[in-house]
Structure 1
Amino acid sequence: MPQVINIFLYGGASELAGNLTNMAQNGMGDTGTNNSINTNSKNSYSDGNAFGGNILLKRTDNPNGEITANGCWYSAGGAFMENMLSSADMNLYRTIYKQKSPTQSHRESIFMSHKGALDIENAPGVGTRLALMINSNFSSYKSTTFADGDPMPSDANGFVLPFVSFEGNSTSYALDPENTMPLNLRGITMDNQFNNPYTRGDLTSSETAINAMAQNVIASQQSQYNGVWSALNKRAELADRMTSLSALLSDDNLPVVPGGVNTSNDISLHSDFGHNLLSTDSRLQYPNTGFAQRLKAAVTLMLHNPQTLYATVGTDGLGGWDDHNNGIDRDGYRRRMLRVMQAIDVAMKHIKWAGRNGITTLGGKTRTNTSNIIINVMGDFGRRVNLNDSGGWDHGNNQNLYTFGGAGISSRRALGNVIGETIRAGQTGTNNQYTVPDNGSKTWEPMSVAASTYRYFGATNPHIMTADPTYNPQGDKTLEDES
């Protein structure tokens, strides 16, 4: 079974961290035409009060250049993107472009992505639809195993923590108004410390006595109260698992560098951006940010509980991504994108190194296969590429999808690639410039991310699961489908 972590950049992140290819004349630092973003921008990107002249230079031509070999923004996380592209841990899709409903409204765009549908009022969330798919086709999964070799449970109620939110109430788990679902397959919220939502601790003495009496009555009449008895047992099982997970968050449980892995370049890169990748005992270390710790918790849960199939994560603690007026700030967009990609670079090492070293799961099995874990990163929409009068970008359409891991999933596209090409469009010198897919470029709708997720879990016609008769009769192709 695959395991998917979905990171959402609420507010709509600019595409520029992953796409500076149209920034300078004729693209990526070359000269010769006047069709670049910077030449046509209402305000100069290369002005000293903005980003400086290095944003126009290829890093291959100048060691201080900001445009990487693949056209990413070096100091806005591009350094780590290049690291993950070269190690075949990542794909970068540059043309997630809305054509069926080109809205730039936050609510509609968030719901479109979290529900994988254009019928945003009536459709369930992606996590809910995935749970319904598994539940409705449970007999088809009988021969499927989890990443530690454990078989599927006898029924859907046997899953432990299959759908989790690390961002509070997530639209990804919006219920289906037309279909009921086992309670155990609904999304549950937890925090980055795995504080236990199942505990019955801190009871008063009288509450403890009443609780014990109730359990004794139910136990003595187990056949009559079988459902309640099963629920109590399940709660106790989940409470134990949450306690075990909390203990795993100790840095002493992070993996050491596996034998034969050369980390010198990785250590140097992280050090350049203020982070010690390894502790004194050669254990991996996450950056000390709220987002990095939340991602650490999500990865730890996935590694040690292979039954966690889908998890949603926000970027709380870094700030929002609605950058109308703080794009050029020192702690603005560049710093946030850097922290996101730096944390993901560590997360990918956590996933790979833990698999190389062997993981003891919560079920007591030894797990070495971690190539089924995928991390997806996207937001509401893209932004315009003109630098506005407030030093930011207003809402746009085209955006990036950053996707990591999952090389062991047969329907997954090979990693290490940049897919999709853009060109600048709009009116020179105005606050109305943007990128669009180049002629002949591959392009996808945001719902394609949901379609691919369903495909990974075995859907044979995943486009149907993004379709609706009113707004989107044909549905949407997967990321791996180029037709």
Structure 2
Amino acid sequence: MKRREFIKLSLAAGSAILLPSFTYGAALDVSQINFSSANYEANSAQTIMIFMYGGASQLAGNISNIEEIERKSQSSYNDYFRGITKTKSDCWQEAGGTAMETLMDNGDMTLFRCCYSAVREAEGNKAHGECTVQNQKGTFDEDAGGMLANLAQILKANNVVNENTLMPFVTMEGESNFYVEGNEPLPGYLKPVGINENFDNPYKREVRNWTYYTEDEREIENYNNREDGFDPALDTKMNTLAQQNNQTGKIKDAFAKRGQLSDFIDAISDSTTPDLGEEAYPENDFSEKIEAAIKLLVKNPDTKVITLGTGGLGGWDDHNEARDYVTRMERLFGALKSAMAHLKAEGKEQTINIMVFGEFGRNVNLNSAHGWDHGNLQNLYVLGGKGYFNHKGTVGETVVDDPGSINRLWLKPKNGTYWFEPLSIAATLYKIYGIENPEILTNNNGIISPLFS
């Protein structure tokens, strides 16, 4: 990837190149937030947020009701899918279930089966856009900021993040509603930094050898990058010009720190993953992303949260021909199993956590196009963070809701089982970063309590 193609950045110096066009929400009143610096410091939390855009089916982590679903489904699961085998915890073996069982057996993951929105059910809301915005903001309030923009402001207000904090928030997916700002823009150093899995370095200066020649009365320009990509004399000249011509402020500071930032990115890129043996990462683009995310967090404790989608696996809006869902989930959880092995090899399973969720789950009727339409119950997968999370294996039970009309077959929480609104994911994130009353940001939806008991 060339520098001009690189996702636009902002780094600690403040202001290099900022992610553009984020919309603005309501201002956050940080005076209402009860912040515990002791809990923040004790947890030393870092997070990878993996958002499954398109609304992934919950069935990979929950086929406990598959016999009833198969009897009532419009199309036959057994005839269409390559295999539907239950694991001991009623996960779908062929769709990542074996890796899920390993993670739960090792005490590395909790699988919540009842992330369910009673509010959306009452409103009949199963729309991608609105549900994505609500889940990434952690609130139903349309004019609110994103959960990570809120977190950034709170950490700044409590003097735990400042201009010297290096890349506190990172995106590997570009723009998202996690970072929607309040009506007062965030300082540059709080804006998300964009990286990719290759750690392409936009701060490294390249020297190009230009060759000009004429062919058919046209001037053609060719160039080849030098192997070392760096000319000290040119670097000195550019830095001098930057200090002479730029006005005092963030941009001038950014140029002054460009060399430091370039070296820092290169150091992360050059760091190696420990030998994971049989737990080595599968060879696919998503595995490269999550491996890069963990390398960054290990190398840089200043980074609090990294967000990424599941690019490299495909989307999850499986209205038809859902067979590839099985392969996607197998690859996703193969990568997550390797990620936990990576964290353990680095001694970071206590502090780094991974949360995996999306906008909603799916209807469990396999329709005539062999897919699932939108639903209102999804799984939340929480891995790592063992210094502050108490992993429980599986939590929550479901029942089949069959209203008797075509293509209407849902999973809902079983009476008496534990369930929570999706906004509780944001409340839980706020909690591990020292916020003691997160419900004031999440429409009174509290933390996911089993994780802390």
Using the size of structure 2 for normalisation, the TM-score is 0.80
Counterpart pick for 2:120 among 79, 97, 101: 101
**1:378 aligns to what?**
357
**1:478 aligns to what?**
447
Q: How far apart are the structure 2 equivalents of 1:209 and 1:84? A: 51
Q: How far apart are the structure 2 equivalents of 1:429 and 1:44? A: 17
**1:197 aligns to what?**
202
Give the secondary-structure state (helix, strand or coil) at the position aligned to 2:424. helix
Structure 1 position 208, deviation (Å): 6.2
Q: How far apart are the structure 1 equivalents of 2:146 and 2:258? A: 25
**1:338 aligns to what?**
330
Contact 1:40 1:429 in 2 (8 A): no
Contact 1:218 1:228 in 2 (8 A): no
Task: Give CA deviations for 1:301-340 in whole Å, capped at 9, x if unaligned.
Answer: 111111111001111121110001021x3xx100000000
**1:359 aligns to what?**
none
Contact 1:3 1:373 in 2 (8 A): yes
One-letter amino acid matched to 1:171: N
One-letter amino acid matched to 2:265: M
Contact 1:299 1:347 in 2 (8 A): yes
Equivalent residue pairs, number: 384
Task: Give CA deviations for 1:380-407 in whole Å, capped at 9, x if unaligned.
Answer: 1010111100111000101000110001
**1:398 aligns to what?**
377
One-letter amino acid matched to 1:42: Q
Give the secondary-structure state (helix, strand or coil) at the position aligned to 1:340. helix
**1:455 aligns to what?**
431
Structure 1 position 213, deviation (Å): 3.5
2:75 corresponds to 1:43: yes
Task: Give CA deviations for 1:41-92 in whole Å, capped at 9, x if unaligned.
Answer: 1122222xx136x63xxxxxxxxxx111111000100110000000000000
One-letter amino acid matched to 1:434: W
2:58 corresponds to 1:11: no
Q: In the superposition, relative to structure 1, how do residues 113 and 176 fare at CA in structure 2: closer, same or farther (>3 Å)? A: same
Unmatched segments (≥5 aa) in structure 2: 1-43, 211-230
Task: Give CA deviations for 1:177-225 in whole Å, capped at 9, x if unaligned.
Answer: 2x34321111011100111233444589998686344245379xxxx93
**2:158 aligns to what?**
137
Q: How far apart are the structure 1 equivalents of 2:298 and 2:397? A: 35
Q: How far apart are the structure 2 equivalents of 1:435 and 1:400? A: 11
Q: How does 1:192-341 map to 2 (within 5 A)?
A: 192-202=197-207, 211-215=238-242, 217=244, 225=248, 229-248=252-271, 253-256=272-275, 277-278=277-278, 285-327=280-322, 329=323, 332-341=324-333
Contact 2:118 2:421 in 1 (8 A): yes
Give the secondary-structure state (helix, strand or coil) at the position aligned to 2:181. coil
Q: In the superposition, relative to structure 1, how do residues 104 and 212 fare at CA in structure 2: closer, same or farther (>3 Å)? A: same
2:149 corresponds to 1:119: no
Counterpart pick for 1:187 among 189, 192, 200: 192
Give the secondary-structure state (helix, strand or coil) at the position aligned to 2:343. helix
One-letter amino acid matched to 1:106: H
Counterpart pick for 2:105 among 63, 70, 86: 86
Task: Give CA deviations for 1:11-33 in whole Å, capped at 9, x if unaligned.
Answer: 00000000000112xxxxxxxxx
Q: How far apart are the structure 2 equivalents of 1:213 and 1:207? A: 10
One-letter amino acid matched to 1:125: G
Q: How far apart are the structure 1 equivalents of 2:206 and 2:148? A: 30
Give the secondary-structure state (helix, strand or coil) at the position aligned to 1:114. helix
Counterpart pick for 2:417 among 423, 437, 441: 441
Q: How far apart are the structure 2 equivalents of 1:481 and 1:464? A: 20
**1:69 aligns to what?**
88
Contact 2:340 2:349 in 1 (8 A): no
Structure 1 position 236, deviation (Å): 3.0
Q: In the superposition, relative to structure 1, how do residues 10 and 242 fare at CA in structure 2: closer, same or farther (>3 Å)? A: same
**1:350 aligns to what?**
342
Contact 1:41 1:429 in 2 (8 A): no
Unmatched segments (≥5 aa) in structure 1: 25-35, 56-65, 142-154, 258-276, 279-283, 356-368, 468-474
Task: Give CA deviations for 1:217-254 in whole Å, capped at 9, x if unaligned.
Answer: 379xxxx9365553333333222111111112xxxx22
Contact 1:89 1:416 in 2 (8 A): no
Give the secondary-structure state (helix, strand or coil) at the position aligned to 2:64. coil
Contact 2:87 2:97 in 1 (8 A): yes
Q: In the superposition, relative to structure 1, how do residues 171 and 226 fare at CA in structure 2: closer, same or farther (>3 Å)? A: closer
Give the secondary-structure state (helix, strand or coil) at the position aligned to 1:158. coil
Structure (1/2) with the larger strand percentage: 2
Give the secondary-structure state (helix, strand or coil) at the position aligned to 1:423. strand
Give the secondary-structure state (helix, strand or coil) at the position aligned to 1:402. strand
One-letter amino acid matched to 1:348: M
Give the secondary-structure state (helix, strand or coil) at the position aligned to 1:39. helix
One-letter amino acid matched to 1:129: N
Give the secondary-structure state (helix, strand or coil) at the position aligned to 1:181. coil
Counterpart pick for 2:174 among 168, 193, 198: 168
Q: In the superposition, relative to structure 1, how do residues 182 and 78 fare at CA in structure 2: closer, same or farther (>3 Å)? A: same
Contact 2:398 2:414 in 1 (8 A): yes
**1:128 aligns to what?**
149
Give the secondary-structure state (helix, strand or coil) at the position aligned to 1:157. coil
Q: How does 1:149-164 map to 2 (within 5 A)?
A: 156-164=162-170
**1:281 aligns to what?**
none
Give the secondary-structure state (helix, strand or coil) at the position aligned to 2:118. coil
Q: How far apart are the structure 1 equivalents of 2:88 and 2:112? A: 16
Task: Give CA deviations for 1:103-151 in whole Å, capped at 9, x if unaligned.
Answer: 210101111111111123x22222211111101122xx5xxxxxxxxxx
Q: In the superposition, relative to structure 1, how do residues 85 and 180 fare at CA in structure 2: closer, same or farther (>3 Å)? A: same
Give the secondary-structure state (helix, strand or coil) at the position aligned to 2:50. strand
Using the size of structure 1 for normalisation, the TM-score is 0.75
